Structure 1
C-alpha cells in the first residue's frame, strides 16, 4: 500500500481528490492502491525534563544544565487517536510519500512519526506549495527522493532542540534565581521569545523617555528652465544634531534672510533616480475613513454609511 502522509486534514482531502482516494476511513481517505492520511500539525512533542528522570520533577540548580543523552518524543494527549491510526497505516505501507508542507517543519512532522513508528520502507517526497489541482498533478509527476529532503529534518531537529535546551534550562535557572531575590513566579525564557521581548521593552523605554526637541527646517521654492521644485536646506555640521536637524532658530533665521536677499541659487550636485511605483491598493475601511475625515471633513460613521450605500 502507498501511503500519503499530509500535514493537515484539508491538505489531505485536496490531494486525495486528485489521487481518486474517495472512500472514507478512520482518519484517512482510501483509494484502490493508495491511502491518504494526515497529522494535525505536530502529533509529537519533545519530552519534558521529568521524562528523563524523577530528579527533574523538582527544580534545582544542582540539576542544571539538563542535556538529554538520548532525545525522546511523546505523543500529544490531544492527538493520541490520530497517532494510533497513522501508526497502523505505517505498519501496512510499503511506500510512504511525505506530503506535508514544503519546509523544514513539514519535513519534521512526517519524519519524527516515521522514526518513532520504526518505519523502514521506501520514502518519497511530494514537494508542493499550492493546493490547486494543476499544482498537485505537476508535483505528483515529479516526486523527489526521500533522501533529497532528509537534511531538512536535521535542520528542524536542531531548531527544536535548541528551543528546548534554552527554554527548559534557562527558564528553570532564572526562576530559581528569581526566588532567591524574592520573586514568586515563573520567569519564562525562550530562544525567540526573550530577544523579541527585549526589543519591545527597549522600544517602550525609548518612548517613555522621549523628550521632544524643537528644530527648524528651511525649504526653498526654486525654478529652472520652466521646472519648479522644492529644495531643503542642509545645516552646517556645527549647527545640526545627529539626525541632521537644525536646533538653532537664529541660524535658521539667518539662512532665510540670506536666501531671501539672493535671487539665484547654484546647483552643487544632482542625482537622478528612476523609480517604479506600484499602483496604490484599494482602500480598507480604516484608511478610507481617515482620508475622508482629513479631506472632506466626514465622520467615521458617515463615511461607513456612504460606503455601504
Structure 2
C-alpha cells in the first residue's frame, strides 16, 4: 500500500496538518515523513505565468506592432526564488510510493490555483487526488476535512475560474499597460519632467483608481451653499427642548422658491421675516402640540464579519490599513483562534450553527467573554441559532463568516496588543448575535405657532440588548438637527434624551399649550462628499463602487463586487506603492496623487470602460459563473479576447495628446506645492 502526500500552502499550515495526523517524524529538507504519510508545503506561489519574451525574444521590446498579445497556449515557469522548494514538491508528487495526494492549500480560488500550477508544471499523472476543504485550522476541523475530502475533479470549475482570473489580469495588464505607455507615456513624463513613465493598468486596480479620483473631483467642484434654519426653544425656562421649523403643507412658505429644502431658507432675511411674523400679536410666545407619537424601535445585532466588514471596522477603530487587518486576522487563523478570513459571507452554515456550543464553550477560557457567556446560557439563545437570520446556507459560497473557534487560547498571550484588540472585536461581534435586540423608546412631537409647524423627536435606550456586548455607539449630545452634518441638516433630528427628561416628555399630550422661550436662526452649510478611507474604500469595492453606509442595506446587495475578499487589500497596497494613490497613515484617508490623476485622464480618454465599477464587477461575476459551471472557460475567453482586441484597435486610432495636455493643466494647479517640493 502506497503513502499519502499532504500538500499545504505554507510551512506553518503543514505543521498543523502533521500535528493533527500525529506525524512526529524528523523534519527533512522541505517536508515531513512517517511510515504512512508525507507532509510538504508550497511557500505561496511556486509557479507563475511567463512573460511575453518567453514566447518570442522580440516581444521583450515594447512595440505597438506586437499588440494585442494573446497567446494560443499560455506558458508557465517556476519562480526562481522558490525553485528549490518547487523541486522538492514536484519530486514528492511524482514519487512512485505516493499513490494518494491530499490537496490542503487554502480553501478558495487562489489556493486551488497554487496547487494546480504545481501539478501542471510537475506533469503529475496516475495519482488519486483528494481536496481538503476546511474553515479553520483546529485539529478537529483538519481531521474532518481529511475524512470528508472529495475528489479533486469536483473542483475543476473553481480551478478553471482561477486560471481565467490569472489570464485576464495578465492579458489586460500586459496589453493595456504597454499600449497606453507607448501611446501616452511620453506625454506624462515630459509634463512631469521625469525620465520615463510606465502607465500601469489593471482590471481591478484601474477601476479603484477611478473611484478615488472621481470622489476627489466631486469634492473640488463642490460649491458650499449656506442655509438658515429656524429653531424654537420649547418648555419651561431651564428645561427646554428644540423644535425645527419645516415648510410642510399648510405653511405660508410651502413649496416656496425661498426655501433650501423644506427646513431652511436660502437667505437669512427670509428666516428673520418668519420669526417676526410668528412673534406678531403673540405675547407671551406659545405653541400648541398638534401631534405626539410614541413608539418602540428594535435594533437587531448586526450580521457577523466577513473580511471587508472587518477591514472597514479596523480602519475606523484602530486606523490600520486593510492589508494590515488581513495580516492580523491571517495570524489569528493560523494560531487556530478564528475561522478562515478570506470570506465574503456574513452568516453561518446550518451545520456550524448546530455545533456552535463548542465555540461558546471554548471561549470560557477567554476572560473578556465569560460574563456574556453566562448570560447567553441563561437566554438559551444558542440552541435555536439555525432558525435566525445569522444562518443561511444559500448566502455561503466557499466559507462562512469570521468567528472565534473557541480554541488556541494558549496563543493569545503571545500576540501583539493590536492583534488582541482585533480578536476581541471578532469575539464581541460573534457573542452579540446571541443577545436580544436593543430597544429604543421614541417620541416625535409636532408643535404649531400660528400655521407654522415645528418638529422635535427624542429617543432613549430602554433595553440595552446586544449593545451590552457590542458596545453602545457614542450618543448625540442634547442638540437636534446638526446643521453642519454632511446631510445638510436632513438627518432624523433625534436627540438622545436622559431618562428623567424623557419621562417628562412622555407626559405631554396633544392639544397642550407650551411656552416658547426663544426663536433662533441657525446657519448651516452644505458639505462636500467625504473622501474614502482605506476601510470605506474596501466596502465600496465589495459593493461594486457604491459606498453603502447602511449595514442592513449592504447585507441585501447581491452579486460580486470589484476584486475579491482575498485581493482587495493587496490591490490598494499596489496603488500606494506605485504612487497613484496616497494614504494618510494616521487617518487612513485615501487621496489620488498627480500621477494617479494623469493616468486616470489617460484611461478616461482611451479605454473608459476600465473605470466602470459595474463592468469590472461583471467580470468578477463571470468568473463566478465559470466556478459554478454556468458558462464555459471558452465562452469567457472569447469575450475577454474580443474586449482586448477591440480596445487595442480603438486606442491605435486615437489622436488626443493635445486634449490630454489640457487635462494635465487642469489638475496641475492642485499639486503646485508638491511639484515645487520635488
Question: What's 1:291 paired with?
Answer: none
Distance in 2 of aligned mates of 1:239 and 1:159 = 55
Question: What's 1:264 paired with?
Answer: 288
Listed as ranges, the matches of 1:214-229 within 5 Å are 214-219=226-231
User: Per the alignment, do residues 32 and 233 of structure 1 end up closer, same or farther by CA in structure 2, a change over 3 Å counting?
Assistant: farther
Question: What's 1:303 paired with?
Answer: none
Q: Give a deviation string over 1:96-136, Cα, whole Å, max 9, x none.
A: 11101111111111111111211121111111121111221
Q: Secondary structure at the match of 1:215?
A: strand
1:37 aligns with one of 14, 35, 40 = 40
Distance in 1 of aligned mates of 2:12 and 2:121 = 24
Cα drift, residue 68 of structure 1: 1.0
- Across the aligned residues of Structure 1 and Structure 2, the Cα RMSD in angstroms comes to 3.1
Question: What's 1:6 paired with?
Answer: 8
User: Per the alignment, do residues 269 and 37 of structure 1 end up closer, same or farther by CA in structure 2, a change over 3 Å counting?
Assistant: same
Question: What's 2:140 paired with?
Answer: 134
User: Per the alignment, do residues 6 and 182 of structure 1 end up closer, same or farther by CA in structure 2, a change over 3 Å counting?
Assistant: closer
Question: What's 1:294 paired with?
Answer: none
- Does the 8 Å contact 1:216/1:252 carry over to 2? yes
- Does the 8 Å contact 2:227/2:260 carry over to 1? no
* 1:202 aligned onto 2:214: yes
Q: Give a deviation string over 1:247-304, Cα, whole Å, max 9, x none.
A: 3334444555667755124349998742235437579xxx9xxxxxxxxxxxxxxxxx
Cα drift, residue 78 of structure 1: 1.0
- Does the 8 Å contact 1:19/1:31 carry over to 2? no
Higher RCO (Cα < 8 Å, 6 or more apart)? 2
Question: What's 1:20 paired with?
Answer: 22
Distance in 2 of aligned mates of 1:257 and 1:160 = 70
1:248 aligns with one of 263, 267, 275 = 267
Q: Secondary structure at the match of 2:171?
A: helix
1:274 aligns with one of 265, 277, 298 = 298
Q: Give a deviation string over 1:38-90, Cα, whole Å, max 9, x none.
A: 11111111111111112211111011000011011111111101000000000
* 1:213 aligned onto 2:232: no
Given the two structures, how large is their TM-score scaled by the length of structure 1?
0.79
Cα drift, residue 230 of structure 1: 5.7
Distance in 2 of aligned mates of 1:243 and 1:107 = 57
- Does the 8 Å contact 2:260/2:266 carry over to 1? yes
Name whichever of 190-199 and 250-259 sits farther off.
250-259
User: Per the alignment, do residues 243 and 190 of structure 1 end up closer, same or farther by CA in structure 2, a change over 3 Å counting?
Assistant: farther
Distance in 2 of aligned mates of 1:10 and 1:74 = 25
Question: What's 2:117 paired with?
Answer: 112
- Does the 8 Å contact 1:101/1:129 carry over to 2? no
Question: What's 1:123 paired with?
Answer: 129
- Does the 8 Å contact 1:96/1:123 carry over to 2? yes
* 1:169 aligned onto 2:175: yes
Which runs of 4 or more aligned residues in structure 1 lie more than 6 Å from their structure 2 counterparts after TM superposition?
242-245, 268-272
Cα drift, residue 150 of structure 1: 2.1
Distance in 2 of aligned mates of 1:243 and 1:9 = 64
**Could you list the runs of 5+ residues in structure 2 that have no partner in the other structure?**
190-195, 248-253, 280-284, 301-437, 439-465, 475-678
User: Per the alignment, do residues 182 and 206 of structure 1 end up closer, same or farther by CA in structure 2, a change over 3 Å counting?
Assistant: closer
- Does the 8 Å contact 1:102/1:127 carry over to 2? yes
Question: What's 1:299 paired with?
Answer: none
Distance in 2 of aligned mates of 1:6 and 1:244 = 62
- Does the 8 Å contact 1:222/1:230 carry over to 2? yes
* 1:48 aligned onto 2:60: no
Distance in 2 of aligned mates of 1:56 and 1:243 = 64
Given the two structures, how large is their TM-score scaled by the length of structure 2?
0.38
Cα drift, residue 232 of structure 1: 4.4
Cα drift, residue 234 of structure 1: 4.3
Q: Secondary structure at the match of 2:73?
A: coil
Distance in 2 of aligned mates of 1:249 and 1:62 = 65
**Could you list the runs of 5+ residues in structure 1 that have no partner in the other structure?**
288-309
* 1:157 aligned onto 2:157: no
